[in-house]
Each structure stands twice: as C-alpha cells, then as structure tokens.
Amino acid sequence: MQTKIIFEDNSILVIHKPAGLAVETSVVGRMDVVSELKNYLKGHYLGMIHRLDQPVEGLLVFAKTKAAASSLSAQLADHRLKKRYTAIVCVPKDRQREFLELYGAKNGRNLKDYLKKEGPVSVIAKKGEPGAKEARLTAYVTECGDLCEECRCMPATLSVSIETGRFHQIRVQLSHDGYPLLGDQKYGNEMSQMLTKKQGLRNVALACDRLSFFHPETGKEVTYEITPFCGR
C-alpha cells in the first residue's frame, strides 16, 4: 500500500498521501488512495472529507463512520479543519527583493536576513472577469536557496495557509504572483522548469504538512505533522 497511515481509531484515519498517487480516479485498474483504504478496511465505511492534487503529497483525514464524516465536513466548511502547506517556489533574479517583502521577509536587501520576518502577509489574487471568486492565502518565507545564474532564479520555501478553497489555489495563486512552484508542469514557466531539473524534482514541490481539527468523538483539537519530501 502506497498510502501511509499516520493515525487510526474507531472514527478516523489520518494518512500521508505520496505525490503521484490520486486520491480518487476514474481510470479502471489504476490504484488510488480511496481504493487502497477500502481494501484495507475490508469494505467498511470510508468517508472522504477533502482532497489533494495527484502530484501533491500530504496529510488527509478520512472518516470511518457517518457521524465522523458529518462532523469533519462541517469543520471543513467553517474552517475549523486547518491545513498548512510547505511550498518551494521559483523566484526570478530581478524580483528577489519584491518577493521577500511580499512574503514577510524583514530585510529584502540581504538574503541572510530572510528568517527575520515580521510575520505572514495576506496575498490576494482576483481574476478580472465578472463574477470571479476571491482567493486568499497567507504565506511567509522560511528558507531561501542559492541563486542559480544559469536559470536566472533561486528556490525559496514558503509556509502557506489558505483562507479560501479554490481549485488548484496555491499553485495558481503563486504562479499568478510570478513565483511558480517547482515541479509544476501545468502552471510553471521556463525558469521554474529549468530550476526543477537542476534540483532533481519529480513532482510538484507542494505538501500539506500539518493538519488540525477537532476529533469527532472527543471534541479535543488534534494536530498531525509530517516532514515533507516536496517534489523529491
């Protein structure tokens, strides 16, 4: 089984989905997380609460009872089920200062000071067409790599929380801001693809590495964390 079970009791399953494995697929004969877990549970109830894109790794919680599914779905709807992501983005050489200022770095003039951040900043991207929905995320810099002169950019790691749940939101929004994720074939650009090859990444450099919610039976808040591979 490619899916790794992090925690299990009578109500829930918390799992680590590897990058490249779909949560659920319509392709006949192709394994996915749901199929693996249903086989593991030998036909007992399995409630899917949320998803991750196929090329993205990370934590997911599943319900083992209908009551647990109802509780977790309600928490997802009112943002009590909280997810944190780690993302590695491509920063163009001529936009380093702007990037560091935008994503919470205190001193954009000196990359050595990137950890002395003032705190997360809210970044809002909104499409121009009428009726477009707002997408909001909060992100801040946690690490910067070395500048690659050949690629004309550098890798930088962000800690990201989303305040809205739009389709491919983190991938689209960071690309929209000019800082696409490494390993992202769909929303990347020439520089990010070059840097992806240099870094030896095979998947999108995005992982849901922290998951918090209130246990459906006990009502206590629980938190699960993993160390992500982020595209490796």
Nearest alpha carbon to residue 158 among 223, 84, 69: 84
Q: Are residues 178 and 110 in the same domain?
A: yes
Nearest alpha carbon to residue 205 among 174, 164, 177, 166: 174
Give the count of domains, the chain.
Answer: 2
- Residue 178 burial (CB count, 10 A): 15
Nearest-angstrom CA–CA distance, 90 and 183: 10
91: Cβ contacts below 8 Å, ≥ 6 apart: 99, 144, 153, 154, 155, 156, 179
What are the tens digits of pLDDT across the range 205-219? 999 999 999 999 999
For residue 35, tell me if it sits in a domain.
Answer: yes
Q: For position 129, what pLDDT does the model report?
A: 56
For residue 171, tell me if it sits in a domain.
Answer: yes
Q: For position 151, what pLDDT does the model report?
A: 87
Q: For position 130, what pLDDT does the model report?
A: 59
Helix (H) or strand (E) holding 67: helix 66-77
Cα Rg of the chain, angstroms: 19
Q: For position 206, what pLDDT does the model report?
A: 95
Bridge partners of residue 7, in order along the sequence: 14
Q: pTM for this structure?
A: 0.85
Q: For position 231, what pLDDT does the model report?
A: 56
Q: Which residue segment(s) compose the domain that 176 sits in?
A: 83-199
Bridge partners of residue 14, in order along the sequence: 7, 61
Residues of the chain below pLDDT 50: 106-126
Q: Supply the CATH number for residue 71's domain.
A: 3.30.2350.10
For residue 22, tell me if it sits in a domain.
Answer: yes
How many helices (H) and strands (E) are present in the chain, helices listed first?
5, 10
